[in-house]
Amino acid sequence: METKGLIQVEKKTQKIQIVKGDFTPSEASQVIMSLIDEKINFHKIQRLQKWEQNHQFDTNNLDNRINQLIKEKEIAKTFITKSENLNCNMSINGTIEISIEE
């Protein structure tokens, strides 16, 4: 007998702990900057792929998201620099929540 349709999903939302711990400001900077840079690169690749498929593609949404992430990166740099100046370690708790949209 063949099953038709989608398999019933038990959970609609899942949380994934990607970063948790105490870090020196230098380590915290590496972790945060790497995560943000990876996301920026993801959107840049998406933008390029969309443009290659259709040179008339409106990249405004992707451009805006890239710019938002660049601003967030600057905010993080400023915050981490303050921690360095205070000679303090930093705690990072990064959880991603993913959910199924129906």
For 47-62, how does the pLDDT look when each residue is reduced to its tens digit (9 = 90+)?
Answer: 999 999 999 999 999 9
Model confidence at 11, pLDDT cuts 50, 70, 90, reads: confident
Q: What is the mean pLDDT of the chain?
A: 92
Buried residues in 23-45 as b, exposed as e (16+ CB within 10 A): bebeebbebbeebbeeebeebee
Domain boundaries, the chain: 19-96
The 3-state DSSP composition of the chain as helix, strand, coil percent (nearest 5) reads 55, 20, 25
- The CA distance from 19 to 16, in Å, is 9
As a whole number, mean pLDDT of residues 37-56 equals 97
Question: Are residues 36 and 76 in contact, defined by beta-carbon separation less than 8 angstroms?
Answer: yes
Residue 14: what pLDDT? 96
Model confidence at 7, pLDDT cuts 50, 70, 90, reads: low
